[in-house]
Chain A
Amino acid sequence: MKVNKFLGATILSASVVSGIGIAYAQTSSSTPSAAPSPSTSGTQYNQSSAAASDNSSNANSNMSAPSSTSSSTTSSSNASDSAGAVAERQPRADRN
């Protein structure tokens, strides 16, 4: 009888603890995570390279000397700037 009480109490308390733990785990795992980013994978779109149709001559006619202006580029490296919603900037003229 004593053994039965011991076993019964063990099983009951283990069940209660497990139940609470599982319920907590399910609650925390079902909280919304970050929205999945739109991925472009899946469709293999390889733009065919240059169907050799036009090798006409005036390609070099308006080529200029290399620019020797001051640099405004930076060479990296914040690894954080690809995520997050984007608010559009003011429309402006681009360089065609």
Chain B
Amino acid sequence: MKPIGKWLSSSSAQVVAGTCAGVILGVAGLLAFSAPAPSQANVKPSEWTAAQRTGPLFAAFGQATPAEDVRDLADWVADSGDAGHGPFLVIDKKNARMYIFDSNSTLVADSTILLGGARGDDTVPGIGSRPIEQVRPEERTTPAGRFVGERGHDARGEDVVWVDYDAAVSIHRVLTTNPAERRLERLASASREDKRISYGCINVPKAFYEKQVQPLFARRRAVVYVLPEVKRLHDVFNMYEVRTRYAGR
């Protein structure tokens, strides 16, 4: 024991002890300052899981007053993260309106739109491959559902956003090639009936397309929710009501 005691009292032992203490202090300091608290982590509240959150997340509509179905669906998307925490679109066929939300589920723009001339939420199998003149009036539906929209081009060479590529349903600038259809007047009309004119595609005002829709899809896909007009909302989307889900917590 004597040699050890002698060594402990030596200057080299003091250096070793000091080095060890310094390493411990350094590591402790790094850990204390580098590990973020959960609330400080670089994760948006909208990306927290339901277990991490203490309450619901709702979509923000600002001054807009959407239909109840639009609000319910957007709230569910916000709360569930169904759109992958990215921007998303909601299309209200009953009221012929499109709503665009950012990745925080905040409404950034909305517009009146034109839709398929036939009421219905389904699409005819193989309709996308059929020449348009062979599409019967009762088949001119805009299908309801959840779609992953992506940019592309149609046969006219114009850029569009494909909603359902196989069914040839897209979002594009309002078509004015057939004056008899009066599509610009229909966009400006207050009548919901006037909005039903296309063969299934979703027509939006040119400025709205170029300022809002086109940039959104320039470098990414985004989820497009087309609300039903015949079926019930819950029959089309596997969703829950945000308001009632958290009522008991």
Cβ proximity bits A1-17 to B, threshold 8 Å, 1 near / 0 not: 11101111111111111
The size class of the interface chain B forms with chain A is: 35 or more
**Contact across chains for B153 and A91 when beta carbons are under 8 A apart:** yes
**Residues of B with C-beta under 8 A to A47:** 109-112, 205, 208
Task: Assess whether B22 is in contact with A38, with CB atoms less than 8 Å apart.
Answer: no
Q: Mark interface residues in B27-51 (1 if CB within 8 Å of A CB, else 0).
A: 1011000100000000000000000
Report whether B151 and A11 are in contact in the complex, using a CB–CB cutoff of 8 Å: no
Binding site for B on A (CB under 8 A): 1-3, 5-18, 21-22, 25, 35, 37-47, 49-56, 59-60, 62-86, 88-89, 91-96
Please name 15 further chain A to chain B contacts, defined as beta carbons within 8 Å, in addition to the given A18-B26, A62-B137, A86-B217, sorted by A numbering. Answer: A14-B25, A14-B29, A22-B30, A38-B220, A40-B102, A46-B109, A47-B109, A51-B188, A53-B189, A63-B196, A66-B120, A68-B120, A85-B219, A95-B198, A95-B201
Contact B141 A67 (CB under 8 A): yes
What's the nearest-Cβ distance from chain B to residue A44, in Å?
7
Q: Describe A's contact surface by its main secondary structure.
A: loop
* Cα-based distance from A37 to B104 in the complex (angstroms): 13
Q: CB distance A14 to B87 under 8 Å?
A: no
User: B116 and A44: CB pair below 8 A?
Assistant: no
Contact of A37 among B22, B86, B97, B124 (CB under 8 A): B86
- The distance in angstroms between the C-alpha atoms of A18 and B28, with both chains bound, is 9
Please give, as numbers and ranges, the residues of chain A lying within 8 Å of B106 by CB-CB distance. 41
**Smallest CB separation, B60 vs chain A (Å):** 11
When C-beta atoms are compared, the residue in chain A nearest to B96 turns out to be A50
Bound Cα distance from A17 to B220, whole angstroms: 43
Q: Which residues of A contact B191 (CB under 8 A)?
A: 50, 54-55, 59
Q: Which 4 A-B pairs have the closest CB atoms?
A: A9-B18, A73-B145, A17-B26, A13-B22
Report whether A11 and B22 are in contact in the complex, using a CB–CB cutoff of 8 Å.
yes
Q: Are the CB atoms of B112 and A95 closer together than 8 Å?
A: no
Partner of A64, one of B117, B145, B190: B117
Residue among A38, A44, A53, A54 making CB contact with B218, cutoff 8 Å: A38
A39 touches B190 (CB 8 A): no
Give a binary string over B195-217; 1 marks a CB under 8 Å from any A CB, 0 the rest.
Answer: 01011110001001001100111
Name the A residues within 8 Å of B236 (CB-CB). 73, 75
